[in-house]
Chains A and B, each alone.
Chain A
Amino acid sequence: MECKKVRDRLITDYVDKELGTEENTEVGRHLAACSGCREFSEAVQRSAVIPFKEAGEMQPDGVVWQRIQEKIETERARSGNWFGRLADAWVPLLRMPPPVFRVAFVTALILVVVVLAKWPSSYADPAYGYISEQMTFMGELRSGNADLMNGDLKDYDQMFEAIGG
């Protein structure tokens, strides 16, 4: 085996014990005969393996548990009342992939425009208030919270923060 190929193994599969027996023996034989590769192997150990062997365990500050406890209590309170459950019902909508959401939005927009065009004198209608409220909500979701649409946010919590819940 050439030195280059040996060193590729030395820095990965050999040091991580992922080589098959045959190849392992071959690398070992090369090491016994080649001082350059032996030095390389020692350098791998010294700089990239041994420093991690002495890694200790750290403990988080007490405040971390307090925050966790508070969040859990908030989540429990949310799932215990009707408003929380209503908010939960929105989440599947937010999980939709962007194209689906966009199509749904555009369809809703066209529908509303058509309805309003056919109903010019009905601006005082209670339905108009409701529809415009929904429009604002959808618009906010689209503009201010682009993050919600890119599939990056998977947490309920992050979503609620993003929609101000």
Chain B
Amino acid sequence: MQEIEKELITKAGQGDMRAFREIYQRVSGYVYTLAYRVVNTKHDAEEVTQDVFLKIHRSLNSFKFEASFKTWLYRIAVNTALNHAKKRSRVTRREVEETFEDPATVTQPDAGKRLEAGETESQLKILLDQLNPDQRACIVLREIEGVDYQGIASSLGININTVRSRLKRARETLMVLGRKEVASHGM
């Protein structure tokens, strides 16, 4: 995700809907993908994306430019997604969507690679499905966003040891799954 210029943020914060739309167009893919990785269904990712942009709209005028816009954004996004996922798993497990989403919605510059991208997406979904929402949030911030332990800890309001143990559990689970896959392919 590219950084958003100060001027555009200020304009949108003053209620300029065109400026806000411009911000949406530039970062909605980033927010949606981050949300999708944590909640792991299209429907929930859409709801989270909507909530995130409403929160942003309400608080843009108080954005202080001390932190980068991106950091501010992924913090709001990951926490909104995490709360949503926790609420969802409390209410019902897996009744909204069982099917994989259309792989064609994955942005890939080369159309010929779409099938591969679809496979990667399905694979990622299977992997992330093995983890609980807390573990998913840590893995997503670490592996996909490249955030370090300190950054993950302060984003999620937990301590570094908790980050470490969640990553450890998550990876152990993924390794068990990896071993099963290798066994089932006879390799």
Interface residues of A (CB under 8 A from B): 8, 11-13, 16, 18, 43-44, 46-49, 51-61, 63-65, 67-69, 71-72, 75, 155, 157
Contacts and interface: CB of A to CB of B under 8 A. Distances in A.
Nearest to B107: A57
Given A47-B177, A67-B50, A57 B30 contact: yes
Given A16-B149, A47-B178, A58-B36, A64 B108 contact: no
A44 B175 contact: yes
Contact of B50 (A8, A11, A58, A64): A64
A59 B139 contact: no
A65 B175 contact: no
A65 B21 contact: yes
Contacts of B36: 58
B39 to A, nearest CB: 13
Contacts of A53: 143
Contact of A11 (B49, B139, B143, B171): B171
Contacts of B120: 51, 54-56
Given A16-B148, A51-B124, A59-B105, A68 B50 contact: yes
Contacts of B167: 11-12, 16
Given A58-B105, A59-B29, A59-B107, A48 B170 contact: yes
Interface string B63-99: 0000000000000000000000000000000000000
A57 B149 CA distance: 23
12 contacts: A12-B171, A16-B149, A43-B178, A47-B171, A52-B124, A55-B37, A58-B36, A59-B105, A60-B29, A60-B49, A68-B53, A157-B54
B31 to A, nearest CB: 8
What's the dominant secondary structure at chain A's contact region?
helix
Contacts of A67: 50
How large, as a class, is the contact surface on chain B? 35 or more
Contacts of A8: 168
B33 interface: yes
Nearest to B123: A51
Nearest to B174: A48
A64 B46 contact: yes
A61 B107 CA distance: 13
Nearest to B25: A65
A133 to B, nearest CB: 31
Interface string B135-160: 00001001110001100000000000
Given A56-B108, A63-B46, 10 more contacts: A11-B172, A51-B124, A57-B33, A58-B36, A58-B106, A64-B32, A65-B24, A65-B28, A68-B53, A68-B57
A146 B100 CA distance: 35
Given A16-B142, A59-B32, A65-B28, A51 B46 contact: no
